Amino acid sequence: MKKQIRSRVLALGVAGVLVAGGALPLIPMAVAQTQGTASAAELLTRGATLLKQSQFATAKKVLLSINPSQLTPVDRTTLESLLEKADVGLAASAKAEDIFHNAEMSFQDGHLAHAASLYRYLIQDSSAAPEIRRDAQDNLALTEAKQKEMVPAMNQLLQKAIAAYNAKNYDAAEADLYTIRKSGVDLGNNNNVPATYENLIAQQRVAQVNAIIAAEKAKAAAAAESRLKAQRQAAQAAQAAKEAKLAMAQRQAAAHAAQLAAARQAQEAKAAAAAHQLAMQKAAAAAALAAHEQQVQQQLAAQQNQQETQRAAQRSAAALAAQKQAEQEAAAAKLAAEQKAREAAAAKLAAEQKAKQAAEAAAAAAAREK
């Protein structure tokens, strides 16, 4: 176990020299690939989620892939807290060998501060094997020595980062500050300078984003104004076309109305002529009817006069006939009366004769009786 750890230490020593000399990339490939697929804030959220799921190793790998300079000061504090929780979780669930291996990996990735933290944890872990604690002590000493060796280089890198910031090359400044933060080197009076410039870069990033947003808004406003202008022009053209169409329709309507008026006048003249002709026909018919009625009345009057004359003649004839009949009847009555008188006289005479005869008979009878 001791030999294997020492071989790791030697390998780490070589890696540390390469980092100090600038031969290794500032950001490991695994970290760059992870950051290339998600933002720092998203990785922070993912790491927190993995911690809640007790996936400490994966969570730690994700959290270590985050560039703290891309986080806000509050999120950087959260990152440190999550890394501590990941270490505690790993310490509670992993073997000391795994923790030691994680420390080596952190060292290889340039996270010297994190590697030193793990080594210190192993040194203080009473449950770890004595040889692991001794190796952790040795590696911690190597890590701290490496950090001391890197102080001049990190100070130079800090000045380089400041120069890049002043030149507004924020990407280069962030990369340099990220390397300084990973190293965990004690810069003495300059310890707070990296964080200060990280905050300044974050502010510049926010300003850039705000400028981009403002530019996009201005661009969108200009595009909207252009669209609105085009819409207004289109609306005006449409309105003009509509008005022209309406004017044409009005002219057509006026022409049609004139045609209708002319047709109506012609119809009215025709109707007036027809009415006049009808009136004349009615007048002629009325005159003819009046003449006919007069003629008929005259004929009727003549007929009535003739009939009256005939009736008068008939009445005269009838009167004469009646008078003649009356005279005849009177004569007949007179004759009848005379006849009755004669008959009465004859009857009286007969009665007298009969009475006389009766008297004579009675007298004769009486005589005979005597």
Q: What local confidence, expressed as pLDDT, does residue 94 receive? A: 63
Contact 44, 52 (CB under 8 A): no
Question: Alpha helices, DSSP H only, in the chain?
Answer: 2-21, 29-37, 40-52, 56-64, 73-93, 96-108, 112-124, 130-149, 151-166, 170-183, 193-369
Q: Which positions ≥6 away from 133 have C-beta within 8 Å?
A: 122, 123, 125
Contact 82, 63 (CB under 8 A): yes
Residues shown for the chain: 370
- In whole angstroms, what separates CA 177 from the centre of its chain? 55
Instruction: Work out the angle at residue 238's Cα, subtended by the Cα atoms of residues 237 and 243, and round it to the nearest 5 degrees.
Output: 95
In whole angstroms, how far apart are CA 212 and each of 201, 208, 222, 226, 337? 16, 6, 15, 20, 166
Q: Which positions ≥6 away from 40 have C-beta within 8 Å?
A: 66, 67, 68, 70, 71, 75
Q: What local confidence, expressed as pLDDT, does residue 2 receive? A: 38
Give the C-alpha separation, 183 to 201, whole Å. 20
Joined tokens for residue 181: 């933060």
Q: What local confidence, expressed as pLDDT, does residue 321 receive? A: 87
Q: What local confidence, expressed as pLDDT, does residue 92 receive? A: 63
Give the C-alpha separation, 81 to 69, whole Å. 16
Q: What local confidence, expressed as pLDDT, does residue 145 receive? A: 94
Which residue type is seen at 99? I
Give the C-alpha separation, 155 to 153, whole Å. 5
Q: How many CB atoms lie within 10 A of CB 12?
A: 20
Give the C-alpha separation, 173 to 156, whole Å. 12
Contact 143, 20 (CB under 8 A): no
Contact 57, 20 (CB under 8 A): no
Nearest in space to 145 (alpha carbons), one of 124, 116, 121: 116
Percentage of residues in the chain having pLDDT higher than 90? 35
Backbone dihedral angles phi then psi of residue 231, each to the nearest 5 degrees: -65, -40
pTM (two decimals) = 0.42
Domain extents for the chain?
41-149
Q: What local confidence, expressed as pLDDT, does residue 285 receive? A: 82
Q: What local confidence, expressed as pLDDT, does residue 30 receive? A: 40
Which three-class secondary structure state does DSSP give residue 188?
Answer: helix
Contact 49, 62 (CB under 8 A): no
Give the C-alpha separation, 370 to 368, whole Å. 5
Sequential pLDDT tens for the chain (370 residues): 333 333 344 333 333 333 333 333 333 334 444 444 579 999 999 999 999 997 888 999 999 999 998 999 999 999 999 999 988 877 766 678 889 999 999 998 889 999 999 999 999 988 777 889 999 999 999 999 999 999 999 999 999 999 999 999 999 999 999 899 888 998 888 888 999 998 999 898 888 888 888 999 989 888 888 898 888 898 888 898 889 888 888 888 888 888 888 888 888 888 888 888 888 888 888 888 888 888 888 888 888 888 898 888 889 888 898 888 889 989 988 999 999 999 999 999 999 998 999 898 888 888 888 7
pLDDT in tens, 14-39: 333 333 333 333 333 344 444 445 79
Handedness of CA 245, 249, 250, 252 (dihedral sign): positive
pLDDT in tens, 101-144: 999 999 988 899 999 999 999 999 887 778 899 999 999 999 99
